Amino acid sequence: MFLAVMGVMAVLLAVAGVFGGFRAQAGGPVAVKAGSTVDQGLFHVQVMDARAGRMKLSSFDPLRNLLLVRMRVTNTGDKTFGISSFLDGVAAESKPGTYLQPDFIASEGDIDGQVTSSIHPRLPVTVQLVWPLGNATAPRTATLALRQWDYGQSFTTDSFYWSVTKQSPIKAKVTVPVRMGATS
Amino acid sequence: MITLKKAAAAVLTVGLMAAAMWLYTFKPHLEDKAQHPLMSRGRLGAVVGNRDFSVKVSRVDVASAITKPDALAKPTVMRSLGIFLIVQAQIKSNKKPFMTGHIRLETQSGDEYGPSGRAAIPDSDNEYQPMLWGPAQYVFEIPKDRLAGARLVIGSAALQNELSAETNVDLGLSGAKGARLAAHPAASYELRT
């Protein structure tokens, strides 16, 4: 009897192992270094660099104190998304628990030095995200929260789509050193 | 014997439970498309239409860069990591002033590419009058392997309902022609301004 019970236990353990075992699933945001690729679900994001200081984004702009972060973004979905949709899934964490959205107007997409407003499937775009710093001194490092995009069916229609909100869970936090100065 | 039977039953039970949990991770991807617009299909060069509007695609160009001339400075050259697909079309309304919308390129793989989004490429005027053919130019930017079999879809800018109309035009890029154009796109396409 004892042997039979032990045998059953062994088989149960084997079955549990086949179906993924008792290992806990990773929870919460993963801390990532700049340069490694983060999978947000819809987008693959690689944080490239950050710089801060008083600068003009274009020749007609006033001189402003800004934080600029560049990311290489690849759309892995099957539809074109706007740069502004991508911005919804990114925030800067100025202090623990405080998330700041990037500036919609000043942030832009860029392919080979030319401005673009769209991220097409499987065509990588460099997105420059801008945060106005006001009178604050520029931080030495910037922490960026990349949220998880969710794929699901609409409540009122039968269409499937990707979405992200400010309540979406944070997939990864990327810390990137901030260089001082306006030139890239 | 009874112990063995019980053991077998226990293993089977756990196996079935695990299988049920595994099956639960699958979610059906069902779309009845009841709210999709009514699609009229046609091909390059032919008039494709419905009661609201008609479309005739006259020309398709494929290039790896787009040049925008500038009267005062050097021309702007936009290079693509993939290719640019430039579609020239004529559009007319059939009832009342009509605004085009939901313009996209449908690839054979089922992906949908919106217009390029490049700031330097002007959007074409999207209002058309009854009984008058007006020109339209659409620029798409796609990876090279998405060119073959691509189709242009044009809809209405108005709020969609169950009787909204769309036209779906085969751009004649299937098979050998698409493969040839993807492999050897024009070096540059010059925008007319």
The Cα-based distances of B191 to B32, B62, B139, B152 in angstroms read: 41, 13, 10, 20
pLDDT of residue A23: 65
Q: What kind of architecture, by CATH, is found in domain A29-180?
A: Sandwich (2.60)
pLDDT in the model for residue B190: 92
State the CATH architecture for B37-190: Sandwich (2.60)
Res B149: pLDDT: 92
Q: Which residues 129-188 in chain B show a CB within 8 A of chain A?
A: 141-143, 146
Nearest to B31 among A115, A120, A159 (CB): A159
Tell me which of A114, A119, A127, A153 to substitute to probe the interface with B (most B C-beta atoms closer than 10 Å).
A114
Q: Would you call A154 an interface residue with chain B, using a CB distance cutoff of 8 Å?
A: no
Report the chain B residue with the minimal C-alpha distance to residue A158.
B31
CB atoms within 10 A of CB A27: 7
From CA A120, how far away is CA B129, in angstroms rounded? 31
The three state secondary structure string of chain A is CHHHHHHHHHHHHHHHHHCCCCCCCCCCCEEEECCCEEECCCEEEEEEEEEEEEECCCCCCCCEEEEEEEEEEEECCCECEEHHHHHCCEEEEEECCEEECCCCCCCEEEECCEEECEECECCCEEEEEEEECCCCCCCCEEEEEEECCEEEECCCCCCEEEECCCCCCEEEEEEEEEEECCCC
pTM over 0.90? The answer is no
pLDDT per residue over B24-42, tens digit each?
Answer: 888 777 777 777 889 999 9
The answer to whether residue A30 scores a pLDDT higher than 60 is yes
Chain B: closest CA distance from residue A81 (Å)? 8
pLDDT in tens, B56-90: 999 999 999 999 998 888 999 999 999 999 999 99
Instruction: Return d(Cα B147, Cα A102) in angstroms, integer.
Output: 35
User: Phi and psi dihedrals of B35, rounded to 5?
Assistant: -95, 5
**Any CB–CB contact under 8 A between B12 and chain A?**
no
Mean pLDDT value across chain A: 89
Domain boundaries, chain A: 29-180
CB B165 within 8 A of CB B99: no
User: Nearest-CA residue of chain A relative to B162?
Assistant: A157
Give the pLDDT confidence score for residue B122 in this predicted structure. 84
Q: What is the pLDDT of residues A131-182, one digit of tens each?
A: 999 888 889 999 999 999 999 888 887 788 999 999 999 999 999 999 988 6
- In angstroms, the separation between the Cα of residue A67 and the nearest Cα of chain B is 23
In this prediction, residue A22 has a pLDDT band, given cuts at 50, 70 and 90, of low
